[in-house]
Structure 1
Amino acid sequence: MSLSRRHLLVSAAAAAAASAFARAAFAQAPMLPKKDTYKVGFAQTESNNPWRLAQTKSMQDEAAARGWQMVYTDAAGSAAKQVADVNSMIAQGVDLIFLAPREELPLIPAIKAAKGANIPIILLDRNVDQSLAKAGEDYVTFIGSDFIEEGKRVAEWLVANAGGKSKILQLEGTTGSSPANDRKKGFDDVIAANAAFTMLASQTGDFARDKGRQVAETLLQAHPDADIIYAHNDEMAIGAISAVEAAGKVAGKDVMILSIDGGKEIVQLIIDGKVAAVCECSPLFGPKAFDTAVAYANGEVIPAKLINPDRFYDITNAAESLATAY
């Protein structure tokens, strides 16, 4: 074999190896250098309810306790603004971004942009479309609750404690968000397997108290025989109580109210007899989020999902649990 041909073959092999190495490197989420302190971003989706306020405070408190600088943004319920917020954090040169995606699809470009800028992202509370972005490759991990399991637990409690009630109205969360998709699936799968129950209607209330009230009012007018309302979060459940009362009915007696989140206000409503049961979804992400970032910087292997444990409240434990609800 001629020297020139051997040189060409060696060069081609080296180029192929370099290309394979580059592909492998790009397939991994960006690394986080080990440092004494960090400048991190927290891209919050909105701040219009107690759950989000508690989550933000937990993150801010943890950053302050560790002496880390945190760039905080509030997307005010806009996926487009949240994408812009992440791009702004990239421009500011943060070391890592904590992102609570408003919806599964629109935040994909922001995640890809951060990866392109070699900035790792940790997802909090809500996930993104797994066919378009993957843990360990496009972002580090997802920290949050098992939303399907939350919906399933509420439905299983209902099956065991319905007391003859059977006609359900469902108030869904923000369309396209992972908690809305999954809390609906978990609940619907259990109910569909129980012929005693009928789903009369299911409509989004956008996780908001006033919209939940408005939607519940409309659905109760269309389905006056409804005797169960399952809301994907406390805010819509509390709005639904107002709608039930406006219809001349008694929440907790004429219409059973079920929810997910578990803030102090809703736990008190269980004690008051207006709400039947609630699956917790803790917003206190700060310690776990920052511990995960440190572990990642230390080179530890981070699982694709870190699932938070969630308590369950009903009349049997609400009074004793009130003090520790967020």
Structure 2
Amino acid sequence: MRTRSTARTVIAALAGVLLAGGMVACGNSDTGGGSGGDDKIVLGFSQVGAESGWRTANTTSIKEAAGEAGIELKFDDAQQKQENQIKAIRNFIQQKVDVIAFSPVVESGWDTVLKEAKDAKIPVILTDRAVDSADKSLYKTFLGSDFKKEGRLAGEWLVEQKKSASGPVNIVELQGTTGSAPANDRKEGFAGAIAANPNLKIIASQSGDFTRAGGKQVMEQFLKANPKIDVLFAHNDDMGLGALEAITAAGKVPGKDITIITVDAVKDGMQALADGKFNFIAECSPLLGPQLMDLVKKVKAGEEVPARIETEETTFTQEQAKEALPNRKY
């Protein structure tokens, strides 16, 4: 009887150990790679702001893609101020996030804070906008558009349209945020392209800060100062849409009296193009979220990624806009 009793005691004890071991294993499985687990990637993202329809669509894409990828997103809105982005990046470093991504407000002035991230061994991904740092080791990759190409495509279209013009063609330019990569590059690309036709002259160029209100205000100034304006090149749709209001208020017909070229191809801009108020749009896609999350996973895993990854984009005329609008996602 003692032998049987002892055997039962040993079996019960072994069963208890196995059960406990099983419970520990299940506990580890739940925390590893699941919601709130230690293995979940944490991404700190600093956004420029919410200055345009493009930026709103970009933010939505990033938030939705993070959720779908199972990545914990710490999101910060810099409200178009570089000092806010630098503060956010330092906060991400203190929080020991796994990866930092941001869309720089301007191109210069990032080396110090990016060096801090590098010293903390936190990889950085640039999205949408680049920086002008000579030290390329401060970030892993850039994901976004070729802004110079967008400006060049806009200029090449205008050169083709005005190839038979015998006299001067007066152009005004609504620039993006001063010092930002898209403003610098779109201006350079456009200017380089229109140099092919000496009749095309930029008679005024000023920043509208990528906002609809800024586009309207600056266009009002252009119209008062320049009685003859033939073409408007706006660095984004929102400034172009603001300019429409000013042009209409001045008694001119947008798209006819003044040829309007913009960049982005958000829904409101595409509608203006379909309606004949805009004449041409070079696309700049904001839907970077899925590509960004894929890059986040790769750099966290220590994989090599290309130094620059460009999004595929196109251009639109009025008829092409009409065709694309019903299925437009942004």
User: Normalised by the shorter chain, which TM-score bucket?
Assistant: 0.7 to 0.9
1:53 and 2:88 aligned: no
Matched, 1:40 2:39: no
Q: Residue 146 of structure 2 aligns with which residue?
A: 146
Q: Distance between the aligned counterparts of 2:219 and 2:299, measured in 1?
A: 44
Q: Which amino acid aligns with 2:264?
A: D
* Distance across 2 between alignment mates of 1:98 and 1:188: 31
**1:84, 1:176 → 2: CA distance?**
19
Tell me the residue number matched to 2:120.
117
Contact 1:152-1:186 within 8 A present in 2 as well? yes
Aligned-pair distance for 1:36?
Answer: 4.8
Equivalenced residues, count = 289
CA distance in 1, matches of 2:188, 2:274: 28
Structure 1 residue 98: deviation in Å? 1.1
Counterpart amino acid of residue 109 in structure 1: T
Task: Give the Cα–Cα distance (whole angstroms) in 2 for the partners of residues 296 and 317 of structure 1.
Answer: 38
**For structure 1, which segment, 283-292 or 157-166, has the greater mean C-alpha deviation from structure 2 after superposition?**
157-166
Q: Distance in 2 between matches of 1:219 and 1:268?
A: 24
Structure 2 counterparts to residues 279-318 of structure 1, below 5 A: 279-318=282-321
- What is the alpha-carbon distance in structure 2 between the residues aligned to residue 213 and residue 167 of structure 1? 19
Q: What is the CA–CA distance in structure 1 between the aligned matches of 2:93 and 2:326, rounded to whole Å?
A: 40
The one-character-per-residue Cα deviations of 1:95-122 (angstroms, maximum 9, x if unpaired) are 0011100001133332222112111110
Normalised TM-score (structure 2): 0.84
Per-residue CA deviation, residues 268-292 of structure 1 (Å, 9 max, x unaligned), is 1111110001011001111101111
Structure 1 residue 202: deviation in Å?
0.9
**Which amino acid in structure 1 is aligned with residue 89 of structure 2?**
V
Q: Is the 8 A contact 2:108 2:133 kept in 1?
A: no
Structure 2 matches for 1:84-95, cutoff 5 A? 84-95=87-98
Check conservation: 1:151, 1:185, Cα contact below 8 A.
yes
Amino acid of the structure 1 residue aligned with 2:298:
A
Distance 1:297 1:113 in 2: 18
Preserved CA contact (<8 Å) 1:52 1:283: yes
Deviation (angstroms), 1:296 = 2.6
Q: Could you say which residue in structure 2 is the equivalent of 1:223?
A: 226
Q: 1:155: which partner in 2? A: 155
After superposition, residues 228-247 of structure 1 pair within 5 angstroms as 228-247=231-250
Tell me what 2:181 maps to.
Answer: 178
What is aligned with 1:190? 193
2:277 aligns with 274
Instruction: State the AA in 2 paired with 1:91.
Output: Q
On the 8 A contact 2:111/2:138 being kept in 1, the answer is: no
Stretches of structure 2 that go unaligned for 5 or more consecutive residues are 1-37
Report percent identity of matched pairs.
42
> Hey, what does 2:99 align to over in structure 1?
96
Instruction: Report if aligned partners of 2:110, 2:133 keep a CA contact under 8 Å in 1.
Output: no
Q: Which runs of 4+ in 1 moved over 4 A?
A: none
> CA separation in 2, counterparts of 1:307 and 1:40?
21
Instruction: Give the equivalent residue in structure 1 for 2:213.
Output: 210
TM-score (norm 1): 0.85
3-state DSSP of counterpart to 2:100: strand
Q: In the aligned structure 2, how far is the partner of 1:128 from the partner of 1:170?
A: 23
- The residue identity in structure 2 corresponding to 1:300 is E
Structure 1 stretch 144-153 or stretch 44-53: which is displaced more? Answer: 44-53
1:37 CA displacement: 2.4
Q: Could you tell me which amino acid in structure 1 is paired with residue 75 of structure 2?
A: Y
CA distance in 2, matches of 1:234, 1:108: 31
Deviation at 1:233, TM superposition (A): 0.5
- The AA in structure 1 aligned to 2:239 is M
Deviation at 1:300, TM superposition (A): 3.2
Secondary structure of residue in 1 paired with 2:138: coil
Q: Aligned Cα RMSD in Å?
A: 1.5
